[in-house]
Amino acid sequence: MYLIIAAAATILPVVLGQVYSQSNLNHTCLLVPDYQSCTVNANPLTVDSCCVETYGGLVLATQFWDTYTGLESSGQVLPKNSWTLHGLWPDFCNGSFTQYCDLSRQYDPSPSPNTTTGPNGTTVSVPAYTGPGVDTFVQDFGRYDLLAYMKKYWVSQGSPSAGFWAHEFSKHATCYSTFDVPCYGPKYEQHEEVIDFFETAITYFRQLPTYDWLADAGIVPSNTTSYSLHDIQNALRIRFGATPYLGCSGPKYSAPNSTDHGKTVLSEAWYYHNVLGRPQDGKSVVLDASVAGSVSSCSNATGAIWYYERGAGSQA
């Protein structure tokens, strides 16, 4: 039998504290079954919410395909032959989501949006963070190898990457039950869970080599050959085991009398999962993106999709 650990499941973000008020136990998760998120077992009334994801149980491993960063002159370039890490998002099981769930861990220099839901559904502002960057948190733990990996594969467009990592942590990761500070027990060191989140996002990213999966199917970046969404979806579904969401940007498809107004420049892939136990442990069940609704914003028209090559100076 399990102890009553947390407040009611219906509790909404209490932005000035933790999502849940956990017990003062040490959260030794190896003693807790790896229950699957978004099932009846993942109930914070009956299981330790530090050990089973009870809040954001639909976990999206998200990636970008960008062709430039805008900060090439300061050395911020994209990794050759690889998509880049966007984030690891804890959506609700019904596909909706919330954000900035704990303003005591707000490290985002440019909050977007700049408001969130406070107690009793009130709207509260999310203040811009002006302290040391989250890259210094990683340095403080002496994790230079992790930092080097993040600089290479977790690359922002139009802003320094460290601010983007902070955004991903404070906007999204504070909404997991399993990354709450009390989950780290009595020996918690400040920012430990931030480093843990970065490692977890990377764990998922490394299991999802979008570039290689597409290249193996003959789909490589090109500024002269376009592709069909259907072929891109098929290539990724075969390797992932479920259909990811594909996001497009750029111009909308337009042809005489066509009702297809999907966009035409491939730019994002979102891989959906339920997690078994803690996301930190990297055990998951893959899900079709249709679980949350639409599977793409891209045009379905034959040959409508551009998977553009990067500029020569934009990758290394």
Ligand X SMILES: *[C@@H]1O[C@H](CO)[C@@H](O)[C@H](O)[C@H]1NC(C)=O
- Give the catalytic positions in this structure: 86, 168, 172
- Residue 78 has phi, psi (to 5 degrees) of -90, 155
- Contact residues for ligand X (CB under 6 A)? 25-26, 67-68, 92, 94, 96, 114, 119-120, 125, 186, 223, 256-257, 260, 262, 299-300, 308-309, 311
Residue 188: count of CB within 10 angstroms of its CB: 12
Amino acid identity for residue 245 in this structure: Y
User: Which residue has tokens 């107004």?
Assistant: 261
CB of 33 to ligand X, least distance (A): 19
Closest CA to 246 of 224, 228, 223, 226: 228
Task: Pick between residue 66 and residue 193 the one whose CB is nearest to ligand X.
Answer: 66
Between residues 24 and 74, which has the closer beta carbon with respect to ligand X?
A: 24
Least separation in angstroms between CB 8 and ligand X: 11
- CA gap 48, 86 in Å, rounded: 29
143 near 132, Cβ under 8 Å? no
- Residue whose CB is less far from ligand X, 15 or 173: 15
Smallest distance, ligand X to C-beta of residue 225, A: 12
Query: Which position's Cβ is nearest ligand X?
Result: 262
With CA atoms as reference, report the closest residue to 268 among 112, 99, 94, 85: 85
For the CB of residue 300, give the shortest distance to ligand X in the complex, in Å. 4
Q: Strand, helix or coil at 281?
A: helix
Q: Which is nearer to ligand X, 119 or 158 (CB)?
A: 119
Q: Which residue number, 70 or 311, has a Cβ lying nearer to ligand X?
A: 311
CA-CA distance, 39 to 54, in Å (whole number)? 9
Residue 289 DSSP symbol: G
CB of 286 to ligand X, least distance (A): 21
Distance CA 138, CA 267 (A): 28
